[in-house]
């Protein structure tokens, strides 16, 4: 990088942030650059924020594009998208890459207020996606219309687990969430 040298830890963390944001497939270029620039300003105040941000994002994009040439035609995230679309058809409100559970609660309440035949909400957050990018496991939260988590024995939980399995995604229920094992390969803006 052409900016002042960063200590190894800071450089690794900033590269990691750009990496997960670009690979998420949900954040667009402006969002990625805004978040990375904010981290640069906080963690590397002596660096030129514009130059370092562009270098970090360009490196993450180049790595993603190179890797994407080896991806299978249908990825795990493609199958996940199919599951989420089916859940929507079955009456669940589905939020992808939301900020937190408050977003899920608002979306669920809005749908219920509109008189829609809502059977619950399924959601995952931006940080859930970042975890999936790095560690191959996505946490999907599923709530009933009253915001209670699904639990063992719930028909809704069994329905979601069966649908994931039908689409070739290994998943299990653990402490209020569904853990989906997958390789995060999402064709977003840069892939």
pLDDT tens digit string along 153-191?
A: 999 999 999 999 999 999 999 999 999 999 999 988 886
Would the pTM of this model clear 0.85, i.e. be above it?
yes
Q: Give the pLDDT of residue 4.
A: 57
Residue with tokens 């008189």: 115
Secondary structure class of 56 (helix, strand, coil): helix
> For 117-152, how does the pLDDT look when each residue is reduced to its tens digit (9 = 90+)?
899 999 999 999 999 999 999 999 999 999 999 999
Of residues 80 and 47, more confidently modeled: 80
Q: Give the pLDDT of residue 5.
A: 73
Residue with tokens 């996606």: 129
Burial zone of 85 (CB within 10 Å; 0-12 exposed, 13-18 middle, 19+ buried): exposed
Q: Is the pLDDT of residue 8 over 70?
A: yes
d(CA 187, CA 191): 5
> For 10-27, how does the pLDDT look when each residue is reduced to its tens digit (9 = 90+)?
999 999 999 999 999 999
Average pLDDT over residues 83-108: 96
């Amino acid at each position: 990088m052409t900016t002042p040298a960063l200590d190894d830890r800071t450089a690794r963390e900033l590269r990691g942030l750009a990496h997960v944001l670009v690979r998420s497939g949900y954040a667009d270029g402006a969002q990625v650059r805004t978040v990375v620039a904010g981290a640069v300003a906080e963690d590397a105040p002596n660096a030129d924020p514009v130059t370092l941000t562009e270098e970090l994002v360009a490196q993450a994009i180049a790595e993603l594009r190179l890797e994407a040439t080896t991806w299978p035609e249908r990825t795990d995230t493609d199958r996940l998208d199919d599951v989420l679309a089916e859940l929507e058809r079955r009456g669940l409100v589905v939020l992808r890459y939301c900020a937190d559970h408050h977003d899920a609660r608002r979306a669920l309440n809005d749908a219920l207020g509109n008189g829609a035949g809502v059977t619950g909400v399924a959601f995952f957050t931006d940080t859930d996606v970042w975890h999936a990018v790095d560690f191959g496991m996505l946490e999907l939260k599923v709530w009933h219309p009253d915001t209670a988590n699904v639990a063992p024995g719930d028909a809704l939980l069994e329905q979601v687990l069966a649908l994931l399995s039908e689409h070739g995604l290994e998943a299990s229920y653990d402490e209020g969430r569904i853990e989906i094992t997958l390789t995060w390969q999402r064709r977003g803006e840069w892939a």
